[in-house]
């Protein structure tokens, strides 16, 4: 998988930055919010997700073993995220709209193993940000399949990695109650 290459690139970049002599001037260019959002803009496909509870790795029960998803960031400050499990037991054969013979248990399985939300995308000022790392807010969310997320802000740390001609976006997610997630996304190439 590409994650080894991505991780190596990330460590190399971090090592290079710390090895440079300190000149008293910031080596990082200060960017405007528009420049950062423009650099992040694109459609990303989910590569991998990992979860932890109080810093200890745990199985990702919500997304299953082989989730799929899309993350969309626009340059003008909007976002949308959808992630779902792919295991047949979490994806019963349902159609939309629901049918009278559908079971609540089937719909419950879908609901428990997927997430979808959308809303404004904006920078956080909690940590310095540029085109390759920082923190954003998804929100206040205007749409979410989890009712308590509507109107809420979801804080996400981001790191952009370019490796092997591909652009990856690493997103750190705080899920509350000691739960955290790390999601790797790969930018989808534009179809001509």
Q: How far is the C-alpha of 49 from the C-alpha of 44, rounded, in Å?
A: 13
pLDDT band at 36 (very low <50, low <70, confident <90, very high): very high
Q: Which CATH class is domain 3-15+30-187?
A: mainly beta
Q: Exposed/middle/buried for 165, CB within 10 Å: 0-12, 13-18, 19+?
A: exposed
- In this prediction the pTM is 0.82
- Are the CB atoms for 172 and 157 separated by under 8 Å? yes
- Please name every residue paired with 161 in a beta bridge, in sequence order, or none if there are none: 168
State residue 117 phi and psi, 5-degree precision: -160, 160
State pLDDT tens for residues 149-162.
999 999 999 999 99
State residue 81 phi and psi, 5-degree precision: -135, 135
- Are the CB atoms for 183 and 176 separated by under 8 Å? no
Distance from CA of residue 95 to its chain's centroid?
27
pLDDT for position 62: 86
Q: Which helix (H) or strand (E) holds 54?
A: none
Phi and psi based region of residue 64 (left: phi greater than 0; alpha: psi -120 to 50; beta: remaining):
left
pLDDT at 113 over 80: yes
Question: In the numeric block, which tokens belong to residue 72?
Answer: 């969309």
pLDDT at 20 over 80: no
3-state class (DSSP) for residue 162: strand
């Amino acid at each position: 998988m590409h994650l080894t290459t991505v991780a190596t690139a990330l460590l190399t970049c971090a090592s290079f930055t710390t090895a440079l002599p300190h000149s008293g001037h910031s080596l990082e260019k200060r960017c405007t919010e528009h420049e950062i959002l423009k650099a992040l803009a694109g459609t990303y496909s989910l590569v991998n997700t990992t979860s932890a509870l109080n810093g200890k790795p745990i199985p990702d029960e919500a997304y299953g073993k082989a989730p799929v998803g899309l993350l969309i960031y626009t340059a003008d400050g909007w976002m949308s995220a959808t992630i779902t499990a792919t295991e047949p037991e979490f994806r019963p054969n349902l159609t939309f709209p629901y049918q009278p013979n559908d079971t609540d248990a089937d719909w419950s399985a879908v609901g428990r193993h997927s997430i979808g939300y959308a809303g404004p995308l904006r920078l956080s000022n909690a940590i310095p940000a540029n085109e390759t790392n920082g923190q954003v807010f998804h929100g206040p969310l205007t749409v979410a399949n989890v009712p308590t997320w509507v109107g809420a802000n979801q804080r996400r740390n981001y790191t952009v990695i370019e490796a092997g001609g591909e652009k990856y976006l690493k997103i750190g997610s705080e899920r509350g109650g000691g739960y955290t997630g790390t999601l790797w996304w790969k930018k989808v190439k534009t179809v001509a």
